[in-house]
Structure formats: structure tokens, C-alpha cells
């Protein structure tokens, strides 16, 4: 299955494991809660989906890479204890608590979360001395005499043996006690993730043209050459930082992340071409509706690969604005809730003992503490983290502005904040209108240059699978999108009917001339 299907399956399993009966007991006893064994190629996203699952289920996550552990750190260190049996005293060797088990208890103590996932990566690459203990752990959920706390689900991950010489095969006894899931690379699924994570458009447009370069591992006479999903994502981050600082992105940089000589060279060439198209086509002029006839003619006469790149550039520019609109609205909504609360606090406060800046100071302390608690618990998503940090910065900004203006009165202070918030809302609405205008102009350009052909199908499809554009259109609508999406659905149904007719024709030799 692909990584998205694996995530859904794991999430369903964990939700089931954590279900309780009317007595508060887990409906599946711990002994029957099979540890999850996720097998997949390196860099495919196994760790990432565990983080996503814990954030969505609001449970904890304690993660370890087992290649870094020895038998002593996993099981604990031996110690001598005195025990009495049948009235006689004996010296008995026991073990201290495992570092892994103790870290789960530490996590619960620090966050207050009593349920979660204990995720052990590289589970099938442990050292020879640790291997028996790991088999015992998977079967009995203990390290030595110390059990994994109740409410904590064991999830593990490993690589196939063909990609790691250190891999140890599990025996049937062990495999019969785990929930084994095998995951394979899937570019279509990764593309949805890439849009949400903001992967550089040069990468997504390149992979649309060369999908086979998404994930590849090859054994050559010069050694193993490979590209992984992790490599593309890390390269995207570095390209963006290089571009911000004006550094040159070249094959030398690219080959550090895409360790496949041919692919690194081809992507380096494409990246230069991508930037040339970005300059030549004057993307902003298209979104403004002020592009020249020269640009229109060039696009109309371009080869399909160049057209795909142009569409990618347009989508990148539009969706960057869309993402900003979605994030801003979510931030404004959160800030509005806080200001509603602040209004009540100001109305009830004693104006002789409280000032507006002292009240805001308390909010800053409380919100900062809450943010740190959420971050420490690992349940905080990147989107949520951005919103919380922006809200804290906004409160700090209000406080500083009030001090600078010399406003201390509660009523006057709140009116000042209300006016400032109104400006933020007005700016949000102006940016939203600009985005809708740009989205409309993109559709008009595609219609004008390419008509309703394959290019329009690509635009509608990409807007549909992109997390932010799909969210934007569902909130605010887009007449052109709905118009062409309807046409796309009709076209797809026509293709399905034609395929069905062809299958019948092949089977029964139907004479289609009578239809």
C-alpha cells in the first residue's frame, strides 16, 4: 500500500487499541494489541506519518532509532539486590529501568498525556546482542522486567533487506505477534503532501514531467545511487534558503541531496530552465491580466513540457497567496476569540487596580506557557504552531503600542486594540480580493491561450489536490473552477463510457456502427 493508506490503517488500529469499555478498561487487552511493524524503503515518510497521527489523535509520541542503542541502554544496567527466600538471604541480579521505558514515563510526567505511541525506528537493524531483547519486546511489550505503560501503543519501522545489509529477518513466532504493513513509494500521494508542506514548485513541476525520478534506488558499478522522498523535501528547503540569500543553486548542491548522478544533472538543467521561464513569462503580469501578446503567442506555441512548467509557475504564485490567505484567516479567527475574552476581562476588572498593559502582560505569559506545553507534548501541528506564535506576537505588539501611546485606561485601551484589529481584518480582505483576482486571471489566461484542453485539466486537477487551494475554494468559491471542474467530470465520464464500450466490443465483437 502507499504511505497515505498506511497512515489511515495505522490510525484506525491505534484508535481501536485505545477504545475503552463501560468500566474504563481497554477493549483490546494489552497482550492482544499487536505492535505495528511498518516496512518501507528509506526516506519514504514512515516517521512523518507517526508524527501526523499523534497530532491528529492528540496523543503523545516518544521516538527512538534503535541503531543508536546498545543492550544496556535498551534493557538497563545490572544491579545487585538482596532478597529473602525461605528465610534465607540471597544476592540477586536485577536491571535498572530501560532508558526507553523511562523516557515514556518522563514524557507523561512532563506533558500530562497518558496515552501515546512508542515508535522504534530501524527495528530490524539492531545489534546482535540486542536482537533477542527486541524479539522479547515485540512479543511481550517489556524490556527486562519493565513493561511499556498501559495506553502506549508500540509502533516500529524498518527497511527491506535489499536496502540495508544490517537487516535481520524476524521469525514466524515474532511476525505472528505483530501487525505488519508494507508500504511502497507513490508520487501521487506524496504530491498532496508536497503541496501542504510547500515543496518548491521547481521540484513538483519537474516530477510531473519525470515521475520515475521521484523515488529510485539503483545498484551500479560505482555503488548505490538513489533519490528518495526525504531527499527531495530536504533539497526543497535548501533551495528556498539559497534563493532568499542570493546563493547559486547548482548541480553541486543538488547532488548532495539527490545521490543519483544522472537525475541530479537533469534536475540542475531543469532548475535553470524553470527560472528562465519564470523571468520570460512575467508570471505576475499574467495574474494581473496585463500580459503582452508576445507572451500569449509564446505560450500557445510552446511544447507541452514548457506548458506544464508555465502552469506550475502560475499555480505556485497563486497558491502562495492562497496559503497566506488561509493562514491569515485562521490567525484572525483565533485572535478574535482572544479579544472577545479580553473584552469581558476589561469590563470586569477594577480600573483603579488594573491597566490595559498589565492585563495584556498576563495574557502574554499565559499564552506563551500554553504554547510551550503544546509544543513539548508533540501534538502541535506546524499550522497550529504558526497561529499560536502569531497571536502571541500580536498581543505583544498591542501592548508595546499602548505603552508608546501612553494609554493605560481599560476602556480606551480596548478601543485602541479593537481599531488595530479592524485594520488587520481590512488588510486580510484586500489580500483576499487580490488572490481571487489573480485566480480568475489565471483561468482566463489558460482559456485564452489553450482553450479547454489538457492544460485546463491539469490546472483544475492541481487545484483540487492542493490542500490550501481546495480549502480556499471551499470557503470562498471560484466560478471558473466550478465551471471547468464540471466539464472535467463530464469528460471523465465520457472516457469511462468509451472504455466500457471498447471492452464490450473486444469481448462480444459488437458492431459499433449501429450506435
pLDDT for 513: 36
Q: What is the CA radius of gyration of the chain?
A: 29
Residue 435: closest CA among 321, 316, 312: 321
pLDDT for 70: 63
The answer to whether residue 45 scores a pLDDT higher than 90 is no
pLDDT for 505: 47
Over residues 356-366, mean pLDDT = 90
pLDDT for 165-174, tens place per residue? Answer: 566 677 787 7
**Residue 367 CB neighbour total at 10 angstroms:** 17
pLDDT for 109-158, tens place per residue? Answer: 888 888 899 888 877 766 666 777 777 777 777 776 778 888 888 898 88
Report how far residue 415's alpha carbon sits from residue 425's, in angstroms, rounded to the nearest whole number: 15
Angle ∠(327,333,338) on CA atoms, nearest 5: 125
Higher pLDDT, 511 or 172: 172
Q: Read off the pLDDT band of 91 (50, 70, 90).
A: confident
Report how far residue 11's alpha carbon sits from residue 181's, in angstroms, rounded to the nearest whole number: 12
pLDDT for 316-357, tens place per residue? Answer: 999 999 999 999 999 999 999 999 999 998 888 888 888 888
Question: pTM (2 decimals)?
Answer: 0.76
Helix (H) or strand (E) holding 455: helix 454-465
Report how far residue 33's alpha carbon sits from residue 53's, in angstroms, rounded to the nearest whole number: 17
The answer to whether residue 504 scores a pLDDT higher than 50 is no
* Average pLDDT value over all residues in the chain: 84
Over residues 85-105, mean pLDDT = 77
Report how far residue 275's alpha carbon sits from residue 497's, in angstroms, rounded to the nearest whole number: 41
- Residue 481 Cα to chain centre, angstroms: 26
pLDDT for 208: 87
- Alpha helices, DSSP H, located in 221-379: 229-245, 251-254, 261-280, 283-288, 293-301, 304-348, 356-376
Sequential DSSP letters for 240-251: HHHHHHT----H
pLDDT for 275-294, tens place per residue? Answer: 999 888 999 999 999 999 99
pLDDT for 166: 60
Over residues 436-440, mean pLDDT = 93
- Residue 77 Cα to chain centre, angstroms: 38
Over residues 253-263, mean pLDDT = 92
C-alpha cell at 448: 485564452
Report how far residue 179's alpha carbon sits from residue 155's, in angstroms, rounded to the nearest whole number: 9
Amino acid at each position: 500500500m502507499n504511505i497515505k493508506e498506511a497512515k489511515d490503517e495505522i490510525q484506525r488500529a491505534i484508535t481501536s487499541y485505545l477504545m475503552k469499555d463501560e468500566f474504563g478498561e481497554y477493549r483490546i487487552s494489552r497482550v492482544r494489541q499487536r505492535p505495528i511493524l511498518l516496512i518501507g524503503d528509506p526516506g519514504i515518510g514512515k516517521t512523518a506519518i507517526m508524527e501526523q497521527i499523534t497530532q491528529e489523535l492528540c496523543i503523545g509520541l516518544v521516538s527512538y532509532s534503535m541503531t543508536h542503542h546498545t543492550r544496556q541502554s535498551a534493557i538497563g544496567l545490572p544491579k545487585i539486590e538482596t532478597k529473602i527466600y525461605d528465610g534465607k538471604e540471597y544476592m540477586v541480579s536485577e536491571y535498572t529501568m530501560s532508558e526507553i521505558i523511562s523516557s515514556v514515563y518522563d514524557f507523561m510526567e512532563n506533558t500530562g498525556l497518558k496515552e501515546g505511541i512508542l515508535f522504534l525506528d530501524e527495528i530490524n537493524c539492531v545489534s546482535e546482542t540486542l536482537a533477542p531483547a527486541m524479539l522479547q519486546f515485540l512479543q511481550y511489550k517489556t524490556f527486562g522486567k519493565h513493561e511499556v505503560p498501559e495506553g502506549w501503543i508500540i509502533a516500529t519501522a524498518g527497511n527491506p533487506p535489499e536496502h540495508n545489509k544490517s537487516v535481520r529477518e524476524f521469525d514466524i513466532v515474532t511476525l505472528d505477534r505483530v501487525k505488519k504493513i508494507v508500504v511502497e513509494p507513490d508520487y501521487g500521494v506524496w504530491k498532496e503532501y508536497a503541496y501542504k508542506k510547500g515543496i518548491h514548485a521547481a521540484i513538483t513541476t519537474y516530477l510531473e514531467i519525470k515521475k520515475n525520478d521521484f523515488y529510485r534506488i539503483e545498484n551500479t558499478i560505482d555503488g548505490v545511487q538513489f533519490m528518495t522522498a526525504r531527499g527531495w523535501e530536504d533539497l526543497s528547503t535548501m533551495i528556498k534558503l539559497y534563493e532568499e540569500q542570493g546563493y547559486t543553486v547548482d548541480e553541486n548542491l543538488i547532488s548532495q541531496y539527490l545521490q543519483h548522478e544522472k537525475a541530479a544533472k537533469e534536475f540542475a538543467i531543469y532548475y535553470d530552465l524553470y527560472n528562465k521561464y519564470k523571468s520570460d513569462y512575467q508570471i505576475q503580469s499574467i495574474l494581473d491580466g496585463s500580459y503582452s501578446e508576445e507572451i500569449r503567442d509564446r505560450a500557445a506555441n510552446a511544447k507541452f513540457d514548457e506548458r506544464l512548467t508555465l502552469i506550475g509557475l502560475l499555480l505556485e504564485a497563486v497558491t502562495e497567496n492562497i496559503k497566506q490567505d488561509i493562514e491569515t484567516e485562521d490567525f484572525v479567527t483565533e485572535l478574535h476569540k482572544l479579544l472577545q475574552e479580553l473584552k469581558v476581562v476589561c469590563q470586569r476588572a477594577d480600573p483603579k487596580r488594573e491597566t490595559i498593559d498589565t492585563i495584556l502582560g498576563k495574557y502574554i505569559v499565559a499564552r506563551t506557557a500554553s504554547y510551550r506545553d503544546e509544543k513539548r507534548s508533540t501534538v502541535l501541528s506546524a499550522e497550529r504552531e504558526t497561529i499560536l506564535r502569531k497571536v502571541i506576537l500580536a498581543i505583544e505588539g498591542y501592548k508595546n503600542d499602548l505603552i508608546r501611546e501612553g494609554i493605560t485606561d481599560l476602556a480606551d485601551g480596548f478601543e485602541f486594540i479593537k481599531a488595530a484589529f479592524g485594520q488587520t481584518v481590512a488588510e486580510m480582505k484586500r489580500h483576499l480580493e487580490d488572490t481571487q483576482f489573480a485566480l480568475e486571471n489565471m483561468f482566463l489566461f489558460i482559456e485564452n491561450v489553450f482553450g479547454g484542453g489538457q492544460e485546463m485539466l491539469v490546472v483544475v486537477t492541481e487545484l483540487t489536490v492542493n490542500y490550501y487551494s481546495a480549502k480556499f475554494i471551499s470557503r470562498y468559491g471560484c466560478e471558473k473552477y466550478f465551471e471547468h471542474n464540471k466539464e472535467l467530470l463530464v469528460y471523465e465520464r465520457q472516457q469511462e463510457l468509451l472504455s466500457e464500450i471498447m471492452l464490450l466490443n473486444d469481448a462480444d465483437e459488437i458492431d459499433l456502427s449501429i450506435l
